[in-house]
Structure 1
Amino acid sequence: MTFGGTGGGHLMRDRSDPDGVSRRDFLRVSAAVVGVGVATVGLDACGSRTRSTTTPTSAAASAAPAGPRRGGTLRVGLTGGSASDTLDPNNTVTAVDVARAISLFEPLVNQSSADLPVLDLAEELTADDATASSWTIRLRKGVTFHNGKELTAADVVYTFTRILDPKHPLEGALSLNPVDLRGIKILDSHTLRVPMTRPYATFPAQLYGGFDFIVPVGFDPRSPIGTGPFKFKSWTPGVQSVFVRNENYWRRELPYVDELVIIEFADSTSQVNALISGQVDAIGNVPLTAAAQLRSTPGVHVLDSKSAAYNPFTMRVDVPPFNDVRVRQAMRLLVDRRQMVDAAYDGHALIGNDVFGLADPDYDHSLVRPYDPAQARSLLKAAGRSDLTVDLVTSDISSGVVQSATVFAQQAKQAGVTVNVSNLPTTAFFGTGYLERAFSQDVWYPSTYLVLVAQETLGSAAPFNETHFDDPTYNALYAEANRTLDPAKVRDIVHEMMRIDFDRGGLIIPSFNDNIDAYADKVRGGGPNFTGIPLNRYDFGQMWLARR
């Protein structure tokens, strides 16, 4: 089984498709977008990414030059960062961390704006036998790091070793867990053979999870050197990042702008005002309440992208009251999902039923959660929690999150449940207490089901397990799925895991939400994307300024 190469340029995607970027990554909400199954998907033989651009929405935009223009500074406004932000691409947490990582670094396998896998630094991945117990990776030649050093197989080995450090495993450790580090053989400067400790048919898909940003041997996060379209210039955590054009970027036409400035805002109101006032040129994750205002603002255009991104309510299953499955079931039954979509997201979402991975081809659409406050009352009474009071921690980490917390608190009253909402600043939400709160919320970008499982629900091995869910049966099924080559059997396993999520998991997923971005009319190169990641998956290297 070969992924990529010049003899046809195909990437076969298996059932554990990739979660694109960083920890939140990515899936499709449309049946037109194929997940990761036995089918193959076309892949540019050069591994180039799918691009799309926005349609001008004003006279000023339509008067702009037809082709890309070089030069200038692109200023982007983002929320969701904090003083604990990082420049380490293998250890991202916040949305702003992800934006920086994508600007400075690149993975072996990437995702297009349609959330389809495309080869990036890898030119080919080939399974060496029928059991996929070993893979050969052939790297693209002519790629250099920001310091002029050529990308080689040794850098891939170093990156894998760094991520899998047993003392300090990094974000992609679970996805790379089957890799036999000691057995890796460098065949030549751009080719390596990677043996596995067990059959691992989902290896390319797990790489597409976006956790394998390649760093050079001896990498120091304090002075980040990557192969991406921009080079590091300066950084103040929680405030601002400044990057400059990589003049030796292997995609020779990119990037178009000379400088990229990522400015962090504590809340969406200040972010929106910054675009209106001209302080920034583009903003991501526009709140729905501001979208209408921006659509009527001269010199601004708004882009709405469908996605399978989700903002779950997270219940820790190991602490009261959520350690009682009846309480978790009751809380889910309290959600009027249609009302949630309409009131919190202004209709810009699809109804969810507490199981992630919506566009995975193996998704079990038979799992539907009713709105049933009477049954919720009955379950709470049986659990001895008839007068339940809980504290819900929220933050303006994504459009509609705070609003959905408010709506949920109102809906919970129908079953006699009191929900006290605590709204933290975004700069504090991902700091102390993150992943430890009994009842909270989060933001996840789409990916296929098994990749998200590895990051979110696979017991202590999952790096972002907000619910502390750790089910032995579930964990064993995940392991079985990753060593199973028969697609029909994998589908059965996935459905069994989804049923466990649905019956006794700790997530409430009321909806899968659109992503709304806004640009100054002078900005070109952005476009709609299915990844759920703002601003065309933070692809700033593709953007250019029609006027400066």
Structure 2
Amino acid sequence: MELNRRQVFKAGLGLSAVLALAACTDGSSPSDSSGGTPQRGGTLRFGAIGKSSKIERDPHETMSNESDFLIMSLVYDPLTVPGTDPNVAPRLASTWESDREQRNWTFTIADGARFHDGRPVTSEDVVWSLRRLRAAGGETKVPVASVDDINPTGPNAVVLTCAAPNSQMPLLLRMMTFVLPKGTADVTEAIGTGPFRLESYDNGNARLVRNDDWYGGAPLLDAIEVTLFESPEAMANAIMAGQIDVASSVGAVAGRMAETRDDLEVFRRPNDVAVAIAMRTSDGPFADPRVREALRLAVDREAMVSQVLSGYGTVANDILGTADPTFDASIPQRARDLDRARKLLSEAKFDTKKTYQLVTKQEAAGEVESAKVFASQAKEIGLDIEVVVQEANAFYDATWLKAPLYTVNWGTNDSVMFFASKVMYSRTKWNETNFHDQTFDKAYATALAAPPGAEFTKASRAIQQIQYDRGGYIVWGMADGIDIASSSVRDLPKLGGYGRVQLERVWLSN
């Protein structure tokens, strides 16, 4: 039934009961750990990172700004969202089920779902939105072969038909499938189904007001004001000065400063952000897997976590999806080995007389610093790396998906399959390391076809082993998500990754 691997799959049996339980336990409605009765009213001033040059108003285009993604997630609803246990929870889709072959997935629209202008949500709206998203983002965003594989089945349900068995469909649709009214011509009108309605918008900053008719129950806040900040430092200064109530994903340095303040509270979300280094695998200086292994062996991971994350994080093992229930802790933790790294470079006849550029940008907290610390460590194996800091616009236009060596950051880490589908599978649009590995693709297909349990876990771990052995990423550590909030802010989401934008149950105390 539910796609999560910790549930027993048996299509159609007991589905509603499991999803009802998931709705009660997902991360969108965490209990108030500080005590007190939730109160209605007030405006939450929320800071989020973004670049004015990268503002995106279309919910079906790629969003690089945290501020844009936050606004979209409050205005629009996707079919599914992150949860706790299981890690997929219902949203606009109240239930889902597949046939026994796991090729045809049926999603049923939540009772009472309406757009902000009062129109009921129909299967025609969902089909139109998913087809539009598939056309814009390809299989990376909607994992079906073509738009013709997305169809209505009655007035309140849609069916997605996969070319091959896919046990992970609901997970792969999380936070991607924003639904708009069929035929929407002007996305700036922002007519969605979400818990908040857009009242005003100005250059990346927005005021959103409560949607009293939201099918999930009216939010507690009267309004949320989202402010775009160009850097974590600017956002940290704003929360310290009392200009905002929440600084989201603000970073470890600000967290340390806020811990000394009685009027502020620091929230840590473990396994929240991967600030990794992407090495191009298909051609160029890092195409030889021996070279990639050498670079991984050059990293002093404990020092990286200490220096870059100020201790707000944990050492990682070059595998994305560290909070996945199937994460393979039996794979030996890769440790620094300078002699072995030098030997591998020599065997690969790597040219250590050249200088290699590592391109980064001021996006995730600590991202630029991570590049600088890595470059310093790599000198010890004879590798000369020049750190180049690009403006975000130039980075995504000229560097991302193209350069031999650059930093990346990802804000969800509870699924190995999420990353396999989005950034490593050969056919994905976002193949950051240009990784084309037939064995990996086969393991990915096997995992999609496997039912939850031992068979799926085995396939997931095969994917992880390939990443560890010859993948294109250096995943040296996992950063805690650091939110700083005024002491009056209650019930911020506890989930990491994309779950942090589910703000409908946040409230303000007096």
* TM-score normalised per structure 1: 0.83
Is it true that 1:453 corresponds to 2:452 in the alignment? no
Matches within 5 A, 1:22-33: none
Is it true that 1:518 corresponds to 2:484 in the alignment? yes
User: Who is 2:20 aligned against?
Assistant: 44
Is it true that 1:155 corresponds to 2:118 in the alignment? no
User: Who is 1:99 aligned against?
Assistant: 70
Is it true that 1:394 corresponds to 2:360 in the alignment? yes
In structure 2, the CA distance between the partners of 1:505 and 1:197, relative to structure 1 (3 Å rule), is closer
2:251 to 279, 287, 294: 287
Amino acid at match of 2:421: A
- Whole-angstrom distance in 1 between the partners of 2:450 and 2:31: 39
Amino acid at match of 1:117: V
User: Who is 1:27 aligned against?
Assistant: none
- Whole-angstrom distance in 2 between the partners of 1:416 and 1:265: 38
- Whole-angstrom distance in 1 between the partners of 2:217 and 2:452: 41
- Whole-angstrom distance in 1 between the partners of 2:91 and 2:22: 8
The gaps in structure 1 that reach 5 residues or longer are 3-10, 15-33, 57-61
In structure 2, the CA distance between the partners of 1:113 and 1:221, relative to structure 1 (3 Å rule), is farther
Is it true that 1:477 corresponds to 2:433 in the alignment? no
User: Who is 2:210 aligned against?
Assistant: 245
Question: 8 Å contact 1:180–1:196 — kept in the other structure?
Answer: no
- Whole-angstrom distance in 2 between the partners of 1:125 and 1:276: 44
Matches within 5 A, 1:480-491: 480-485=446-451, 487-491=453-457
Matches within 5 A, 1:183-262: 186-207=152-173, 209-219=174-184, 220-237=186-203, 239-254=204-219, 256-262=220-226
SS at match of 2:54: coil
- Whole-angstrom distance in 1 between the partners of 2:72 and 2:8: 28
> CA deviation digits over 1:422-452, x for unaligned, max 9?
2335565445533323211111121311221
Is it true that 1:539 corresponds to 2:509 in the alignment? no
User: Who is 1:137 aligned against?
Assistant: 107
* TM-score normalised per structure 2: 0.89
State the number of aligned residues.
498
- Whole-angstrom distance in 1 between the partners of 2:156 and 2:223: 31
In structure 2, the CA distance between the partners of 1:448 and 1:122, relative to structure 1 (3 Å rule), is same
User: Who is 1:436 aligned against?
Assistant: 402
User: Who is 1:25 aligned against?
Assistant: none
Identity among equivalent pairs (%): 27
Shift of 1:193: 4.0
Greater per-residue helix proportion = 2
Amino acid at match of 2:68: D
2:290 to 326, 330, 344: 326
Bigger shift: 264-273 or 156-165?
156-165
Matches within 5 A, 1:314-393: 314-367=278-331, 368-382=333-347, 383-393=349-359
Shift of 1:412: 0.9
In structure 2, the CA distance between the partners of 1:316 and 1:240, relative to structure 1 (3 Å rule), is same
The gaps in structure 2 that reach 5 residues or longer are none
- Whole-angstrom distance in 2 between the partners of 1:281 and 1:399: 19
Amino acid at match of 1:250: Y
Shift of 1:177: 3.1
- Whole-angstrom distance in 2 between the partners of 1:471 and 1:235: 44
- Whole-angstrom distance in 1 between the partners of 2:391 and 2:419: 26
Shift of 1:113: 5.7
- Whole-angstrom distance in 1 between the partners of 2:90 and 2:272: 22
Amino acid at match of 1:275: I
1:13 to 4, 23, 40: 4
- Whole-angstrom distance in 1 between the partners of 2:84 and 2:162: 31
User: Who is 2:96 aligned against?
Assistant: 125
Question: 8 Å contact 1:82–1:431 — kept in the other structure?
Answer: no
SS at match of 1:126: strand
- Whole-angstrom distance in 2 between the partners of 1:346 and 1:384: 33
Amino acid at match of 1:386: T
User: Who is 1:19 aligned against?
Assistant: none
Amino acid at match of 1:370: A
Shift of 1:532: 3.1
In structure 2, the CA distance between the partners of 1:342 and 1:175, relative to structure 1 (3 Å rule), is same
User: Who is 2:48 aligned against?
Assistant: 78
- Whole-angstrom distance in 2 between the partners of 1:186 and 1:78: 36
Shift of 1:518: 0.4
Shift of 1:38: 5.6
1:297 to 240, 261, 275: 261
User: Who is 2:432 aligned against?
Assistant: 466
> CA deviation digits over 1:292-343, x for unaligned, max 9?
2111124211111212531111112234211222221111110011221222
Question: 8 Å contact 1:180–1:194 — kept in the other structure?
Answer: no
SS at match of 1:476: helix
- Whole-angstrom distance in 2 between the partners of 1:242 and 1:279: 15
In structure 2, the CA distance between the partners of 1:538 and 1:428, relative to structure 1 (3 Å rule), is farther
In structure 2, the CA distance between the partners of 1:115 and 1:342, relative to structure 1 (3 Å rule), is farther
Question: 8 Å contact 2:129–2:179 — kept in the other structure?
Answer: yes
Question: 8 Å contact 1:322–1:328 — kept in the other structure?
Answer: yes
Shift of 1:248: 2.0
